[in-house]
A and B are shown apart, each in its own frame.
Chain A
Amino acid sequence: MDDDEAIARSLAGDLSAYEALVARYSTLAHRTAAMLGAGDEAEDVVQEAFVKAYRHLSSFRRDAPFRPWLLRIVANETHNLTRSRGRRSELTVRLSATVSATAPDDPEGAAVAGDRRSRLLEAVRRLPDRERQAVICRYFLQLSEAETAQVLDWPLGTVKSSTHRGLARLREEVGHDVT
């Protein structure tokens, strides 16, 4: 069952079809919410977003892709949450302690790579809001420029310029000593 068929059946009231759609996008929705600032409350945000998406499914344009439409709702819910908490939308993810990109018999190399990753993450975290959101969508979530524009509800030009500025700033902070 592809997205379009699942949506058609959901619109006809088939909740099993919608369940399949939720399961398909659940992990991506959680990653999006968590990275855009929902932190520990990503689960609540995602559930709310899927409930809202179902209720607004009739306004979804069937010739358009479902993924960015859904993620925009997730981004909105995340935004509502951070705003109602009166806090900034922060990137709160942590690096896993166990992951190593280098061979296990090279502890020194692993430590250097790990240090590099934490500095890069810290630099992304410190970016101005717009640049950080653009970098998160374009690289961490691997969305296209057009998808990012839809998810963040920005003009395409803003996505391009914010990504560009964010990359330039990151390069300035951590880019000169690539290992």
Chain B
Amino acid sequence: MTSPDPFDDLEAELLALPDAFDLPSPPPGQVAAAVRERLEEPARAPAKRRRRWQVAIAAVLAVVAVTALTPQGRAAVAHVLRLAGIEIRIGAAAPTATPSARLPGERPVATSDLGGLVKFRVRTPAELGEPDEALVSDQGRVVSMRWKAIRLDQFDGGLSPVFLKEMGPPWPEEVAIGDASGWWITGSHTLSYLARADGSRLPLRVAGDVLIWERDGLGFRLEGVKDRAEAVKIAASLRP
């Protein structure tokens, strides 16, 4: 190290480098108008639930179009669905037994401490009452509650997928939970966790019947309830 402050030169160079980038961006007014047009679109659709479904279909078509482009994509995955921070790949190989893994950094906490440990408002299903155990994972990204064989995960799933489910047919069944929609998934599927930093995949376990739904931008997955109506009833009882 001969020069006295080598990083300063390099830092100054790095700060100046983007001036030389060839990075055209569309006129801001045009972008704003395009965004506004998209935001106004749903207002013309007839009903809320139908809109959501159309959005889901559009998303599916978009992703299917993409996966169809690569030979590996076509062979491995027939359809991809995204809802509430969960990505579902249908048509993947049937699940084989995977070692049971925990979520990154998963640790038990007192139910009363949950509020201070996560960034979103934690809800409890009134139907099930106080959980036997509450867990926080990945620096507050996921909250899990357990009642015997039942497990409820809640997470800030609006922006990027948190869980990945790989399964064969049948297609998940759309169900109504209050005025929101969710999906009921029957049969076993491979459940993986997608790491927050790089989306890398951590296989967790083979999961059974699961209900997933979204509420106020948060994603929920309820596992371990065999009966669909019972699962929907629990989902609809979230408080506060």
Contact = CB atoms under 8 A, between A and B. Distances in A.
Interface of A: 15, 18-20, 22-24, 26-27, 30-31, 34-35, 42-43, 46-47, 50-52, 54-56, 58-59, 72-73, 76, 79-80, 83-86, 93-97, 99, 101, 116-117, 120-121, 124, 129-130, 135, 139-140, 142, 152-155, 158, 167, 170-171, 174-175, 178
A15 B39 contact: yes
Given A59-B217, A85-B66, A170-B10, A26 B15 contact: no
B159 A56 contact: yes
25 contacts: A19-B36, A22-B28, A26-B28, A26-B31, A30-B25, A30-B26, A42-B25, A43-B25, A46-B31, A51-B38, A56-B158, A59-B120, A59-B217, A93-B21, A94-B21, A95-B21, A121-B17, A129-B198, A130-B197, A153-B197, A154-B197, A167-B7, A170-B14, A171-B6, A178-B13
A171 B7 contact: yes
A124 B6 CA distance: 17
A117 B17 contact: yes
Main secondary structure on chain B at its contact with chain A? helix
Given A19-B33, A52-B159, A27 B17 contact: no
B10 A171 contact: yes
A52 B34 CA distance: 14
B149 interface: no
B40 interface: yes
Interface in B133-160: 139, 158-160
A175 B80 CA distance: 46
B216 interface: yes
A97 B11 CA distance: 23
Contact of A93 (B13, B22, B120, B198): B22
Given A30-B25, A56-B159, A101 B16 contact: yes
B115 interface: no
Contacts of A54: 35, 39
A93 B10 CA distance: 19
A120 B198 CA distance: 25
B9 A178 contact: yes
Nearest to A87: B70
B28 A59 contact: no
A41 B8 CA distance: 34
The residue in B7, B63, B160 that gathers the most chain A C-beta atoms within 10 A of its C-beta is B160
A75 to B, nearest CB: 9
A23 B32 contact: yes
B221 to A, nearest CB: 19
Contacts of A72: 159
Contacts of A154: 197
